[in-house]
Structure 1
Amino acid sequence: MTPRSRTVVSAVSGGIAMLFPIAFALAGSGARPRVFASVLAIVLVVRAVVAATRSAVAFAVLGVVLCVFAFAFDLSMPLKLYPVAVNATLLAIFSWSLWNPPPVIERLARIRVPSLPPEGVEHTRRVTRVWCVFFAFNGTIALWTATAASDRVWALWNGAVSYVLMGALLLGEWCVRQRVMSRHEH
């Protein structure tokens, strides 16, 4: 598979996985957990194979396990818990990286700036903590929507609101990073 086709398949499968909550809600009471579990499992496996990264494989395994339960018992709850599992896993990874440096955000920053100054290292630690708070908050709301809210509320939060909040956090962090970098360049 060419790098371009890998990118396309990864983007399409990622988009399908992200839109899963909306599709599930649109199906309403006619949603067939076995059908959704089968489709989601295939999408997750394709994404893991194409990405060929440990994190993609880990999220695929996590998702496929939930899909197997959903399929075996014809239940929607395991599918609704997937966003909770993703947030819990990301919280664990980001938290673990704070205790076992370098933090996740520092690793990502060093891709662009290999010789990160001490101020940059401290900034990445703070940003990693912020993401930990976000994943804890988002996972808690995702759990509440899965267990106590309607399917529409679950879909709205897990298929739209959480992504908007994530985008706002990314944008906010980018703005702060520009200020931090410009302050230390002079």
Structure 2
Amino acid sequence: MRKLAQAVTVILLLGYPLAVYLGLNYLPGNLLAPLLALLLLLRLLTQQQQLKALALPIFFGLLLAISSFVAKQQHWLLYYPVVMNLCMLGLFGGSLLQGPSMVERLASITEPQLPDAARPYLRKVTWLWCLLFVINGAMATYTALYTSLATWTLYNGFIAYLLIGLLAGSEWLYRHFWLTRS
């Protein structure tokens, strides 16, 4: 049952922008915020141990949803992508200070015998991820403040995921090719 709850909450949270768009357009009154709060609470409670670092953005999302409901300010729900990007920036940026870099940690999951020569490259890729989180966070803020809900949904529910997927996929392909040739 726990695995099912985890899978459902992951899918729904990935669809957060679409859920907000549909909820703000089609749900009555201030019903969306408590539904999202319930979803985020469920995700927080079913979080896998190895993903505890992601508890912080989920917790802040929960606070946003509760605050939105209490203050009756539904537009506060638009700031969750900003929170996610800030938390991910903190996670990746913090790994640059404390080491090993986040990308090195992630790469070592599938390739435990990383050569020492790969470490500077993986550190640079972590910097690239930090840049992406700054850009995505800035765009999430801009779309929340100055654009329509449809534009906010397009950027945060599609374009941001596309950019993340492109960086992750192209970096993995390059690293896989580069590491096998070293």
TM-score (norm 1): 0.88
Q: Distance in 2 between matches of 1:77 and 1:114?
A: 44
Distance 1:134 1:107 in 2: 18
> Quick one: structure 1 residues 114 and 27, their matched pair in 2 at CA, closer, same or farther if it must change by over 3 Å?
closer
* Number of matched pairs: 180
Cα gap change, 1:63 to 1:10, in 2 (>3 Å): same
Which of 35, 44, 47 is equivalent to 2:43? Answer: 47
Identity across matched positions, percent = 31
Matches within 5 A, 1:27-176: 27-29=23-25, 34-53=30-49, 54-176=52-174
Which of 3, 8, 29 is equivalent to 1:7?
3
Deviations 1:119-165 (A, max 9, x none): 22122112111110110000000000000010100011111111111
SS of 1:115's partner is coil
Contact 2:93 2:127 in 1 (8 A): yes
Residue type of the partner of 1:116?
L
For residue 23 of structure 1, the aligned residue among 13, 16, 19 is: 19
| CA–CA separation in structure 2 for the residues paired with 1:130 and 1:13 | 28
Q: CA shift at 1:183, angstroms?
A: 2.0
| Aligned-residue offset at 1:94 | 0.6
Q: Which amino acid is the alignment partner of residue 21 of structure 1?
A: P
- CA displacement at 1:29 relative to structure 2: 4.6
**C-alpha distance in 2 between matches for 1:87 and 1:16:** 18
Shift of 1:32: 5.2
Report if the CA contact (8 A) 1:49-1:57 is conserved.
no
Distance 1:114 1:36 in 2: 43
Aligned-pair distance for 1:11?
2.1
Structure 1 residue identity aligned to 2:133: F
Counterpart amino acid of residue 151 in structure 2: V
User: Secondary structure at the residue paired with 2:94?
Assistant: helix
CA root-mean-square deviation:
1.8
Whether the 8 Å CA contact 2:20–2:32 is kept in 1: the answer is yes
Gapped regions of structure 2 (runs ≥ 5): none
Structure 1 residues 33 and 182, CA, compared in 2 at 3 Å: closer, same or farther?
farther
Report the Cα offset of residue 39 of structure 1: 1.2
> For the residues of structure 2 that align with 1:59 and 1:173, how far apart are their CA atoms?
24
1:27, CA displacement in angstroms?
A: 4.3
TM-score, normalising length: structure 2: 0.90
Gaps of 5+ in 1: none
Query: How far, CA to CA, are the matches of 1:21 and 1:42 in structure 2?
Result: 16
